[in-house]
Copies of this chain bind each other. A is one copy, B any other.
Amino acid sequence: VRTSRTLPTAAVVPAAGRGERLGPGAPKALRQVGGEPLLVHAVRGLWRSGAVDLVVVAAPPGTASDVANLLAEAVPGVEARVVEGAAARQQSVAAALAALDSDTDVVLVHDAARAFTPPDVVRRVVQAVRAGAPAVVPVVPVTDTIKQVGDDDAVQATVDRTRLRAVQTPQGFRRDVLERAHREHAAAATDDAALVEALGEKVAVVDGSDEAFKVTRPLDLVLAEALLRSRAD
């Protein structure tokens, strides 16, 4: 039992996507790295942060009870709920939001594919929301040169990257702000913070981590395995 002077913080993990760019296989969150599914690594990182009181997972359709058993076994002591998710990410987030306790006041949304996010990133996001920000995203600098291309596949411009940041998760929100954002701007957005931006609410940034990379392409699995081994050393 975690006791806290504040109202609870819940982390929502939409984990029902296919992950086509990884190639054929299990739903992305259930792909194995180091002998365990990405989802297990992701939930373990959230829980080890000590900043999260409940994890709500939106699992691939038909897998909810298996996923619940998996998490209970792999992450001792975790407070987790598993709901049925959907292929569309926003639907999964909505299903998870509906499963929160009424007194939860801070909500994180975390990609299972950012399975190796260090716990200190989770803590920074929660602290920034508790300090008053309605929405918070962890970011890292953009290290590649970025160019904008046209329909003819020719370069139109080199983008000034000094003001660009690559956005990671968990993204943190005051619960009322996130729920309003999902109600009013449920249309496609690449991340939940963009829904909050559409409300006109301020989105703050905190430092992310290179290790919070998203497992998207086959090469990311190579990195993930290597990172796990380096952490075990």
Residues of A whose CB lies within 8 Å of any CB of B are 137, 139, 142-150, 153-159, 161, 163-168, 189-191, 193-194, 197, 202-205, 210-211, 213-214, 216-219, 222-223, 225-227, 230
Contact = CB atoms under 8 A, between A and B. Distances in A.
A80 B197 CA distance: 53
A197 B166 contact: no
21 contacts: A137-B147, A139-B149, A143-B217, A144-B166, A144-B167, A146-B167, A148-B165, A154-B205, A155-B202, A155-B205, A158-B189, A158-B191, A158-B193, A210-B218, A211-B219, A219-B223, A222-B223, A222-B227, A222-B230, A223-B223, A225-B226
B157 A197 contact: yes
B154 A168 contact: no
Most chain B CB neighbours (cut-off 10 Å) among A203, A205, A217, A222:
A222
Say how many copies of this protein the assembly contains.
2
Which secondary structure dominates where chain A touches chain B? mixed
A147 B65 CA distance: 37
Contact of A147 (B154, B165, B213, B214): B165
A155 B190 contact: no
Given A154-B203, A211-B219, A219-B210, A149 B165 contact: yes
B216 A155 contact: no
Given A210-B217, A210-B218, 12 more contacts: A137-B147, A137-B155, A148-B163, A148-B165, A153-B205, A154-B202, A155-B197, A155-B204, A210-B219, A219-B223, A222-B227, A222-B230
A215 to B, nearest CB: 10
Nearest to A151: B163
Contacts of A230: 222
A159 B155 contact: no
B166 A159 contact: no
B166 A145 contact: yes
Contact of A145 (B148, B149, B159, B190): B190
A144 B194 CA distance: 13
A171 to B, nearest CB: 10
